[in-house]
Every structure is written in structure tokens, then in C-alpha cells.
Amino acid sequence: MKNLLAKAAETHSLSKEELIAVLNDDTCMDELLQTADAIRQKYVGDEIHLRGLIEFSNFCKNNCLYCGLRRDNKKLERYRIDIPTIISLAEYAKNMGLKTVVLQSGEDMHFTAERMVEIIKGIKSLGLALTLSIGEKSTEEYEAYRKAGADRYLIRIETTDKKLYQDNDPDMSWENRVRCMNDLKSQGYELGSGCLVGLPEQTIESLADDILFFKEMNCDMIGIGPFIPHPETPLKDAKGGTLDLSLKVMALTRLILPDINIPATTAMEALAPDGQARALCGGANVIMPNITLTDYRKHYQLYPGKTTTGYTPAESLNKVINKIESLGRTVGKGCGRSKKWLKEQQE
Ligand code: SAH
Ligand code: SF4
């Protein structure tokens, strides 16, 4: 195992079989995280970049089996934040010293391309970097958002196992998800993707495929989180993913894609109070403090146990900054573009 980790640290390339061997080995956890931490430091440094997350609508036309926002969850109280308030939250983020905001929502048809362009322009006029995470759109819509100033886009592939994807994302198609990713990359966005860890029937082999897929798709950011069963979904009785396996997938992703951005995800924190701290010491270099208004947070329930519920934006930000400082790391000063993306722009 030592040899495999040394090889990964040096060549940033492992075969599917080698990835599977690491994922299956329960004795190498500490060493894997330490190796990923060293590679993180070598390629992207000690700064941790903050992204202010605004969850602006929990309406969704889709019905993903794992997600609490799925359209068939009739128990969920739905909300939309209006456009001036969304922009004022971004302004608030700026005043708190944040350089990037992430707009996330379900696939809410109320937010037409026209409305999104208005929001994007409003936020870009504040001089912030802007990431969108609003699901599958047409090539033209992505183009319009990019033209209006959007810099980055997060769209997880969720799983590269097509059957598993089809089973969990009814009415959606894996091929269309990949089409979205290709569109975004070719339009000059910094492309963020990622996967869920621990979906029912998901195999270690397919997680190895996920890591290889991130490389093949030339992603600039990868977010990995455990699947956490939500009580109002068909997967409510599923076992869910573990923090350790999620951390392993994340650390291996750092070894294979050394110069990308990797967030310590909120879902990791939901499983353990030190989930994000462990991620930050195992390859992660980004964290997304939640700046959604306190009253709305409890309704943006992708999964239960989100530790940001109930706090104000300032409290969330302070908690994150304290965590970073307690680890001896520093808060990123710039907007924290992916080093890989920046290198590609110069070529
Ligand atoms: N609607 C957009 C963005 C919001 S969902 C989209 O689907 O792309 C953001 C992410 O939440 C999804 O990509 C999924 O990976 C994650 N998610 C949804 N349900 C989850 C659950 N039960 N446990 C952990 N993560 C979940
Ligand atoms: Fe909607 Fe995204 Fe949840 Fe799927 S994962 S139901 S697309 S919010």
C-alpha cells in the first residue's frame, strides 16, 4: 500500500485496480490522508478559500430518490428568495470579506434564463466571483449565464454507474449530465463536479471509475460527500455513506488531480463534528460557509443533520474561520480560482 501511495503522489496516476486496492484497504487511512495533505500543500498551498453559499430556492422539478428537495416531497415547505434579496445577500457576503458566492437551488423553473441573467449581472457588478449550481440547462442558457459573467458551475455527476444513476434520478439521463459538463467546460467555466458516496448498490469499483472520470472530464473542482438518507424520500431506510469512505475518495481525487479545488463538504460535517476538519487535513482546500438567511435554511434540506441550520450568516462564517485558524491554516485572500484552470488559460 505504501508503494501505491508513493506512486500516486509522484505520478498522479493510478489504474482502476490500484484505486480499488486503496479504497478496499482499511489500514491505510491515516497514511492516505497525510499523503493527500502533502500534495495539497505542494500544489495549492495552505490557503483555504471561502465561498459564500446562497441557497436561493428549494423548488425542484426533479425527483432524485436521495434528495429531500425532490418534487414528491410534499412535506417540504417551499421558498424562493426574491432577486433583490439574493443580490443583497451577495453584497453582505462581500462586506464580510468573501470573494466568491455560490448560488444553489433545486431546478426551479421560476428562475428563467432572463431572471438568472439579472441576478448574475447584479452580483457581478459587486466585483465578486460567481459560481452557479442550479442543475441541467440548455447549451444556450449556459452560454447566456457565462456571457452575463458567471465564472464557475457545480454539477455533480453523482455516480458514473449509469444504471445506478438512472435508478436514482428518474426522468433524467446520465448522458445529458455529461453533455452539461462538456458544454460548461468548453464555454470557459471552471467546472466543478463530484459524486455521492454510499448510495444503495454503489460499488467500490464504480467509485474508482468516478475518480478516473473526474480526471477524464478535466474538472477544476470536485466535491465529494456521503449520501445521507432523508426521512421523506424513498431511500429513507438506506444505510447511507460513511465519512471514512468519503474521505478516502476525496483524498484519492487530490492525488490524481493535484491542482484542483476540493471542498470540505457540509455533508461530511453532518456525519461527525470534525468531518470538515478531517477533510481539510486530507486534501481539501475550500469551504463554503452558508450565508442563506436563517429562516430559509431549515427548508433547504437536501439531507438531514445539516449543521448550518439555525445559525445566522455571520455565525456560520465565524465558525468556519475559527475552524481554519485552529488548524493553523489561513483564509484565502483572492477569489481562489483553480490553479489547474489558471494554468490552462496561459497555455
Ligand atoms: N439541483 C442541483 C443543485 C442542488 S443539489 C443539482 O442537483 O445539481 C446539490 C447536491 O446535493 C447534489 O448534487 C447531490 O449530490 C447532493 N445531495 C442531494 N441529496 C443528498 C443526500 N441525501 N445526501 C447527501 N448529498 C445529497
Ligand atoms: Fe433537485 Fe438537485 Fe435534489 Fe435532484 S439533487 S431533487 S435536481 S435539488
CB count within 10 Å of CB 165 equals: 20
Among 53, 62, 154, 158, name the best residue to mutate to test ligand 2's pocket (greatest count of ligand atoms within 8 A of Cβ). Answer: 62
C-alpha count within 13 angstroms, C-beta hemisphere, residue 129: 20
Q: Is 281 in the pocket of ligand 2 (CB under 6 A)?
A: no
| Residue 152 DSSP label | E
Instruction: Write the residue with the smallest CA distance to atom 8 of ligand 2.
Output: 106
% helix / strand / coil in the chain, to the nearest 5?
A: 45, 15, 40
Which ligand 1 atom is at minimum distance from the Cα of 235?
22
Query: How far apart are alpha carbons 308 and 55 in whole angstroms?
Result: 12
pLDDT at residue 347 in the model: 81
192 close to 155: Cβ distance less than 8 angstroms = yes
Indicate the domain borders of the chain.
2-346
CA-CA-CA-CA torsion sign (336, 322, 324, 193): negative
pLDDT at residue 309 in the model: 79
pLDDT at residue 271 in the model: 96
Instruction: Write the residue with the smallest CA distance to atom 5 of ligand 1.
Output: 106
Query: How far apart are alpha carbons 197 and 209 in whole angstroms?
Result: 12
**Three-state DSSP class for residue 238:** coil
Query: How far apart are alpha carbons 295 and 281 in whole angstroms?
Result: 32
For 176, 244, 279, the CA distances from 308, given in Å and listed in that order, are: 32, 21, 17
Query: How far apart are alpha carbons 262 and 127 in whole angstroms?
Result: 23
Q: Which residues contact 272 (CB under 8 A, 6 or more apart)?
A: 243, 278
Q: Which residues line ligand 1 (CB under 6 A)?
A: 66-67, 104, 106-107, 133, 135, 155-156, 158, 196, 225, 227-228, 230, 267, 302-303
pLDDT at residue 312 in the model: 87
Extended beta strands in 175-290, E state: 190-197, 221-226, 286-287
**If you measure from the C-alpha of residue 279 to the centroid of ligand 2, how many angstroms do you get, rounded to a whole number?**
24
- For the purposes of burial, counting CB atoms within 10 Å of the CB of 27, is it exposed (0-12), middle (13-18) or buried (19 or more)? exposed
Q: Is 60 in the pocket of ligand 2 (CB under 6 A)?
A: yes
- For the purposes of burial, counting CB atoms within 10 Å of the CB of 80, is it exposed (0-12), middle (13-18) or buried (19 or more)? middle
pLDDT, block means (10 residues), the chain with 347 residues: 93 97 95 98 96 96 98 97 96 95 98 98 98 98 98 98 97 97 98 98 98 97 98 98 98 98 96 96 96 86 84 88 93 92 88
Question: Which uninterrupted H or E stretch holds 330?
Answer: strand 330-331
Assign domain 2-346 to its CATH architecture. Alpha-Beta Barrel (3.20)
**If you measure from the C-alpha of residue 1 to the centroid of ligand 1, how many angstroms do you get, rounded to a whole number?**
33
Among 53, 55, 63, 64, name the best residue to mutate to test ligand 2's pocket (greatest count of ligand atoms within 8 A of Cβ). Answer: 64
Query: How far apart are alpha carbons 190 and 311 in whole angstroms?
Result: 30
**If you measure from the C-alpha of residue 251 to the centroid of ligand 2, how many angstroms do you get, rounded to a whole number?**
26
Which pairs from 41-44 meet CB under 8 Å and 24+ separation? 42/258, 43/258, 43/259, 43/339, 44/258, 44/259, 44/261, 44/285, 44/339
Question: Which uninterrupted H or E stretch holds 53?
Answer: strand 52-57
pLDDT at residue 90 in the model: 96
Q: Is 69 in the pocket of ligand 2 (CB under 6 A)?
A: yes
**Three-state DSSP class for residue 111:** coil
As beta bridge partners, residue 100 has 129
Query: How far apart are alpha carbons 170 and 172 in whole angstroms?
Result: 5
- Cell 453532518 locates to 270
Query: How far apart are alpha carbons 290 and 308 in whole angstroms?
Result: 7
Query: How far apart are alpha carbons 262 and 186 in whole angstroms?
Result: 21
pLDDT at residue 2 in the model: 82
pLDDT at residue 156 in the model: 98
- Hey, what's the cell of 347? 497555455
- Dihedral over alpha carbons 153, 131, 164, 218 (to 10 degrees): 40
Q: Is 70 in the pocket of ligand 2 (CB under 6 A)?
A: yes
